[in-house]
Structure 1
Amino acid sequence: MLPASGATVTVASTPGPGTADAPVFVLVHGIGMSHRYLERLHRELAGAGAVHSVDLPGFGRSPKPEDGVTIEQYADYLGELLPTLSAGPVVLVGHSMGAQFVTEATVRHPALVSHLVLIGGVTDPARGSVLLQALDLARDTLKEPASGTFIVLGDYLRCGPRWYLATLRPMLAYRTDLRLREVSAPTLVIRGEDDPVSRHDWGVHLAGQVPRGRLLELPGRHLVQFSAAALTAAGIRAHAGSPAPGGATVDHAVDEPVAP
């Protein structure tokens, strides 16, 4: 239970190597989801540092909050949670709608975040309608690994349509790109090269909003952290190990810079 709000956040934790300079990674799921589809990435990162994967209130095993749903509210849940997981700032990683939660948390609680990572970030305002999002998600689901789709569908069923729709509205309204302009932490944007939900131009745009932003494109789709967990983790570990260069750049696969 969080100390100020009293909300419940469920956390799956791995202690990591225990060295003093090892990073602490905190992984945050997207809409309707839980920590379960982050488990592959969690395991890949655990050799480099402590890893904590969360189920925010209303998702996975965590009961729904009683005081509504806003991105800012979820950012403040993270603001309460992070000091309980680490004595110092963390590498904060969010997937899909989780990219919104971690962006807002970094804006509102900058001292708690050393590095920010957005995977499959949403929502591109050019594709911000319910219909377009549903079509893009359907296109993605048809070509994702069956094992990943099984986890997604199971979590959606647990979430339920009413809660999913309640969280969908703030997701579509939130301007991730504009809020990133308030972020000072080095920021890595990761997307699958064939992701129809978080597209190339949007990824370039997101990385360009941050003074120290970079886009990394990997083989895969919206669940790139599941289908390409090792490559995703390698990118995050490299990002956590050194400050990002000034200005936005775009990488394909790993360490193959191209012009933005």
Structure 2
Amino acid sequence: MVLVHGIGMSHRSLRRLHDALAAHEATVFSIDLPGYGGLPKPDHDVDVAGMAEGLAGVLATLDTGPVVLVGHSMGAQWVVETACRRPDLVAQVVAIGPVADERHRSLPAQAGALALDTLRESPVANAIVFTDYLRCGIRYYLAQVRHMIDYPIEQRVADLAVPLQVIRGQRDPVARADWCRRLADAASDATVVEIPAAAHIVQHTAPRAVASAILARAGLTAAT
């Protein structure tokens, strides 16, 4: 299983999910993409397709066979695009808190939803977000958010040749329930899982529930 963070973030937001999956003897990799997690920023603009090509290159080096590819927030865009381009490398796509619906396709709308989300997250989760955003930097974040807003994920999921699982926190103001259902309906083989009481960073606040859902969908264990 390969885990991919969202915009501005790093593997730190995925650490609890990583550990929960690994506890079930899954082979798990968490990847920081270029410009995130303190990695050097590219010397050119990188859109969703460019990130997907880079991610596919990493997957090809793992020598594990097709993977369960998990992405959170904007990471959902990167993993969907990767699976569309290289279905030979991906067995299943998991989109956690996917973005962005038509209500949030502007910077002010994104900022408002994220501000609301901070009121619903734990102090530890907010600290991870804040410090990772500082490492990312405002200039790179704004360049990336433009691609996030423009990416038509609801169209690209229809091109998936592998199963899609959409996971959201019940209190997520960024990836709303109706949006997640519409994404699933647009794909040929998709399910939606809602984690009670959690918000946007559900993989951090409810890692065992998210891991259980992923493993069950992959046929590796029964949901608990």
**TM-score bracket for this pair, using the shorter chain length:** over 0.9
Deviations 1:66-102 (A, max 9, x none): 2312000000001100021233000000000000000
Q: Please list, as runs of the form range in 1=range in 2, the aligned pairs for 1:67-216 lying within 5 A after superposition.
A: 67-216=44-193
Deviations 1:217-236 (A, max 9, x none): 00200000011100000000
- What letter corresponds to residue 76 of structure 1 in structure 2? E
Give the deviation of 1:161 after TM superposition: 0.5
| Equivalent residue, structure 2, for 1:227 | 205
Give the deviation of 1:210 after TM superposition: 1.1
* Greater RCO (Cα-Cα under 8 Å, separation 6 or more): 2
Structure with the bigger percentage of helix: 2
Q: Determine which of 31, 35, 38 is the counterpart of 1:61.
A: 38
Give the deviation of 1:151 after TM superposition: 0.6
In 1, Cα distance between equivalents of 2:64 and 2:216: 22
Q: TM-score, normalised by structure 1?
A: 0.82
Q: Secondary structure at the match of 2:168?
A: strand
Structure with the bigger percentage of strand: 1
Q: Secondary structure at the match of 1:27?
A: strand
**Alignment check: 8 A CA contact 1:184 1:210 kept:** no
Deviations 1:186-214 (A, max 9, x none): 11000001100000000000111111100
Q: Secondary structure at the match of 2:91?
A: strand
In 1, Cα distance between equivalents of 2:141 and 2:184: 28
In 1, Cα distance between equivalents of 2:139 and 2:156: 27
| Equivalent residue, structure 2, for 1:41 | 17
- What letter corresponds to residue 241 of structure 1 in structure 2? G
**Alignment check: 8 A CA contact 1:48 1:237 kept:** no
**Alignment check: 8 A CA contact 1:121 1:203 kept:** yes
Runs ≥4 in structure 1, deviation > 3 angstroms?
A: none
Q: Secondary structure at the match of 1:66?
A: coil
Give the deviation of 1:131 after TM superposition: 1.1
In 2, Cα distance between equivalents of 1:87 and 1:132: 39
In 1, Cα distance between equivalents of 2:25 and 2:77: 25
Number of equivalent positions? 220
Structure number with larger C-alpha Rg: 1
Give the deviation of 1:126 after TM superposition: 2.9
- Whether 2:216 is the aligned partner of 1:238: answer yes
In 2, Cα distance between equivalents of 1:86 and 1:229: 26
Q: Which runs of 5 or more residues in structure 1 are unaligned?
A: 1-24, 243-253, 256-260
Q: Secondary structure at the match of 1:231?
A: helix
- What letter corresponds to residue 28 of structure 2 in structure 1? V
In 1, Cα distance between equivalents of 2:38 and 2:61: 19
Give the deviation of 1:61 after TM superposition: 2.9
- What letter corresponds to residue 34 of structure 1 in structure 2? S
Q: Secondary structure at the match of 2:159?
A: coil
Q: Secondary structure at the match of 2:218?
A: helix
In 1, Cα distance between equivalents of 2:147 and 2:213: 29
In 2, Cα distance between equivalents of 1:126 and 1:160: 25
Q: Secondary structure at the match of 1:241?
A: coil
Q: TM-score, normalised by structure 2?
A: 0.95
Give the deviation of 1:239 after TM superposition: 1.1
| Equivalent residue, structure 2, for 1:32 | 8
